[in-house]
Amino acid sequence: MAEPGWSSDAGGAVYRSRDPVRNLRIRVHIQRVTSASLLLQQLQPPAGQQGKELISLATFSSHPAASGYCPGDEEEAVIGWQEKLFSQRCQKVTSSEQEVPSFLVERMANLRRRRQDRRPAEGSVLKSRIITWKPSEEFIKNNHVINTPVQTMYIMGDLGPYGMLGHREYEHVLCTVKVDGNGVITVKPDFTSTKGAYRIELDGEKRELWRYTVENASAQVQQEEEEREQRMFRDLYSRHKEYLNGLVGSDFEMTLPGALRLFVNGEIVSAQGYGYDHLYVHFFLELPSRWSSPAFQQLSGVTQTCATKTLGRDNVAYFSYPFTLEMFFTQEDESEGSLPQWPVIYFEVLSLDYWQRYRVEGYGSVVLPAAPGFHTLTAPTWRPTELGTVSELRRFFIGGSPELEDMTYVRVPGIFKGKCLSRFGFRTETTGSVTFRLHCLQQSKAFLESSALRKRMQSVLDQLGGFSQQNSLYSVLEAFQRARRRMQEARESLPQDLISTSTSAVQQP
Helix-helix angle 445-464:467-493, to 10 degrees: 100
Q: In what order do the strands lie in the sheet with 13-16?
A: 13-16, 184-188, 171-180, 150-158
Contact 26, 216 (CB under 8 A): yes
- Across the range 363-382, mean pLDDT stands at 93
* pLDDT tens for each residue of 239-296: 998 888 888 776 767 778 878 899 999 999 999 999 888 999 999 999 988 899 998 8
The domains of the chain are located at 13-34+69-92+132-216, 224-251, 259-444, 446-504
> Distance of alpha carbon 442 from its chain centroid, rounded?
27
Mean pLDDT of 109-130: 57
**Residue 395 reports pLDDT greater than 90:** no
Position 384 pLDDT exceeds 60: yes
What CA–CA distances, in Å, run from 349 to 105, 304, 312, 317, 379? 69, 12, 21, 11, 12
Task: State pTM to two decimals.
Answer: 0.45
Question: In angstroms, how far is the first alpha carbon of the chain from the final one?
Answer: 125
**Helix, strand, coil share of the chain (percent; to 5):** 25, 30, 45
Residue 134 corresponds to which amino acid? Answer: K
The pLDDT assigned to 418 comes to: 77
- The stretch 351-367 carries a mean pLDDT of 87
Nearest to 344 by CA among 366, 323, 324, 327: 366
* pLDDT at 325 > cutoff 90: yes
Question: What is the maximum span of the chain, computed from C-alpha positions, in angstroms?
Answer: 149
As a whole number of angstroms, the distance between CA 407 and CA 23 comes to 72
Integer Cα distance of 343 and 6 in angstroms: 80
Instruction: Return mean pLDDT, the chain.
Output: 76
Q: Which amino acid is at 6?
A: W
Flag the least confident range among 373-387, 459-473, 478-492: 459-473
Which band of pLDDT confidence, cut at 50, 70 and 90, is reported for residue 496?
low
Residue 465, SS3?
A: coil
Res 363: pLDDT: 93
β 209-216/198-201 pair status: antiparallel
What share of the chain has pLDDT > 70, as a percent?
70
Model confidence at 444, pLDDT cuts 50, 70, 90, reads confident
Q: Does domain 259-444 have CATH number 2.10.109.10?
A: no
Q: Is the pLDDT of residue 506 over 50?
A: no
